[in-house]
Amino acid sequence: MFIRLFPANGCAMTTTLRHHLILLLTCGCVFFLNLGAARLFDEDEPKNAECGREMYERSDWVVPTFNYELRTDKPIMLYWLMLSSFNLLGVSEFSARLPSAIMATVTVLTVYQIGWRFFGQAVAFWSSIILSSTMMYVVSGRISTPDATLIAFITLSIFAYIRLQPVGEKGWSQPESAAWPKAYLPANFSGYVLLYALMALAVLTKGPVGFLLPCSVIGLFLMCRGQAPHAPQDLSWNRPLQSANELVNYLAAFITPSRFFPALWAMRPFTILLVVGLVALPWYITVGWMTNGAWLEGFLGSHNIGRFSSAMEGHSGPIFYYVIAILMGFFPWSVFLPVTLYLAASQRHRFEKDNQGLLFLLCWAGVYVGFFSIAQTKLPNYVLPCYPPLALLMGWTLVRWQEGSLTLPNWSYIWGARSLILSGLALIIAFPIVSYILLPGYWAVGLVGCLPIAAGCWMLTQNQLMNRKQILKGIGVCSIAFVSTVFAGITPWISQAQESSQLGLSASRLSDSSVPLATYQYFAPNLPFYAERPVLRHHSSEEVAQFWKEHPDGVLCVRDQELSQLDDVMPKDVVVMEKIDRFLRPYQIVLLKRRSTAPRTAAQPSVESVIR
């Protein structure tokens, strides 16, 4: 069925077209604007980009490597997308990040479709605006990590399930047949194939969680629809033992085998294994064969079972870790998040047409937050797949409040407005202090706090005028302006201060890519990407002596405070090619090369500092 883009008079745009144009413009600002201006940040982004560059360099579409060594952290999908981008546009920060920006946009548009099917166009539009202007989600769409791609495939698979459910007079997923659980699943085999094929693409992006958790979301929803036992109503902190006993009895009745296994069987587990196997297994088998099983052992063992069962690389946290992480990552909209979850859970039964959609979204968000809260390794990006349902829940809450059908407690509204103002003031006050200590010259970054202050003041002013229709517009504009300013303006500016990218660019400028580059007790993932060569990592003076012996034309990076440790092994003709201040740390990094092989360039200082 074709969507009519213009009304009968042929003049004004339809609501659907107008919404999509605004969303595309918003995504252009928050995801694509100045996308390639910032240098690669943090640990994961340069590792992923360098992995893609090395695969592109050797025309390899199977085995991922970082610093020319096997990398087992992530499956292949992100690298395939980056390789396609590199082949079209060449190797750069922009082309490395382009797949993430595209996939983040796909998710925003998919959220619109989900919201439209659940709650109507107004909720769909504002949910998409909310998602596209939250801090952590915008980060995922502007860096070369698999998060945006994973979220896109998960959201598409969830949408496939939602799209296959009927929408009747009573709302979404209210089938005429009461045959549980089949009435709440695709009616034909092709529906299952589409659903699980999209999950299989998520498996190629991040591993088994790509199908286990989306299936858990659908399974939990089925369990909630299948004559679930009544939740205990009289839980009390004054009766902890009795309340705990009632809760345990409820959970036992909820997941009793007579309910669990029919739901599992109705989801066709053998079809899941067949479709996921046909789509994802060929690459997993190929990479396992080409690496003699080393990649499979590292990925499935260390990066799946290991991360769930123990805290890796110091990334641990308490059980409530993700409560704090989501409140920070969902900023500036997080000021509405607590009241959103409360109202969606407690008031959904009042809205017959919205009820099942709200239940499904609560299951979706709950599965991801619950699973990763139990996992021992914790990182803020792990729960990014729950941002779309949270945005939809918030869009529903704010639009229904705007329409007058839902009451938002006045104290929560005032608290939200004041929180935005206080957050803005904190940025204005704190960042000049941080800049003075760690980033001289960047004090003006704190002025971005004016935007949350403007949003908070707008909320208070319009609330006094009782003008609810304008409130969301003002917050939306300020939120989009805030994330665009932070990530398209401030981030590229600050990224220029990273010493690792400067070192790599200097090494590339001062020596050919065939010249070996080494470090002593120092390494940054940016180095191989910007130097366009492998980086040898040395940890003892003996290794450095051997490096100079084997590679007299080589280049060495070392922290200036550790130069004295190399006095006995440093050749007498070594010169300082470059000194660069460390990013957010004291001291400098020194780039060294032997005088006899040091090229004379216009950029080279006229007076060379000679070691020893």
Residue boundaries of the structural domains of the chain: 17-230+245-309+322-403, 410-495, 499-610
Lowest mean pLDDT among 45-59, 70-84, 504-518: 504-518
Strand pairing class (609-610; 574-581): antiparallel
Hey, CA dihedral for 319, 321, 323, 326, is it positive or negative? negative
Lowest mean pLDDT among 216-230, 301-315, 544-558: 301-315
Give dist(CA 341, CA 326) in Å, integer: 13
Q: What is the CATH number of domain 499-610?
A: 3.40.190
Asked if residue 166 has pLDDT above 80, the reply is no
Other beta carbons within 10 Å of 43:
11
- The larger pLDDT score, comparing residue 600 to residue 119, is at 119
Lowest mean pLDDT among 52-61, 232-241, 308-317, 327-336: 232-241
Q: What is the mean pLDDT of residues 160-175?
A: 79
DSSP class of 515:
S
Instruction: Report whether 305 contacts 293 (CB < 8 A).
Output: no
Give dist(CA 143, CA 145) in Å, integer: 6
Lowest mean pLDDT among 247-256, 395-404, 520-529: 247-256
Residue 2 has a pLDDT of 33
- The larger pLDDT score, comparing residue 237 to residue 355, is at 355
User: What are the tens digits of pLDDT across the range 416-457?
Assistant: 999 999 999 999 999 889 888 888 888 888 899 999 999 999
Alpha helices in 164-208 (DSSP H): 189-206
User: What are the tens digits of pLDDT across the range 326-343?
Assistant: 999 999 999 999 999 999
Residue 231 has a pLDDT of 67
Asked if residue 586 has pLDDT above 90, the reply is no
Mean pLDDT computed over every residue of the chain: 88
Secondary-structure percent of the chain, ordered helix, strand, coil, rounded to 5: 65, 5, 30
User: What are the tens digits of pLDDT across the range 129-162?
Assistant: 999 999 999 999 999 999 999 999 999 999 999 9
Other beta carbons within 10 Å of 111:
29
Residue 126 has a pLDDT of 97
Q: Give me 202's structure tokens.
A: 């998520």
The closest of 380, 386, 374 to 318, measured between CA atoms, is 374
Asked if residue 10 has pLDDT above 50, the reply is no
- The larger pLDDT score, comparing residue 537 to residue 603, is at 537
Residue 597 has a pLDDT of 53
The closest of 140, 90, 105 to 29, measured between CA atoms, is 105
Residue 610 has a pLDDT of 34
Give dist(CA 215, CA 312) in Å, integer: 26
Give dist(CA 243, CA 511) in Å, integer: 70
Dihedral (C-alpha) 27, 29, 30, 36: value to the nearest 10 degrees?
Answer: 110
Residue 178: which pLDDT band, with cuts at 50, 70 and 90? Answer: low
Q: Considering the chain, what percentage of its residues have pLDDT values greater than 90?
A: 65
Beta strands in 198-260, from DSSP E residues, in sequence order? none
The closest of 110, 109, 94 to 142, measured between CA atoms, is 94
Q: pTM for this one? A: 0.91
Instruction: Report whether 108 contacts 27 (CB < 8 A).
Output: yes
Asked if residue 13 has pLDDT above 70, the reply is no
Q: Give me 38's structure tokens.
A: 């910032």
- Measured in residues, the chain has a length of 612
Q: Considering the chain, what percentage of its residues have pLDDT values greater than 70?
A: 91
Non-local CB neighbours of 313 within 8 Å, separated by 6+ positions? 377
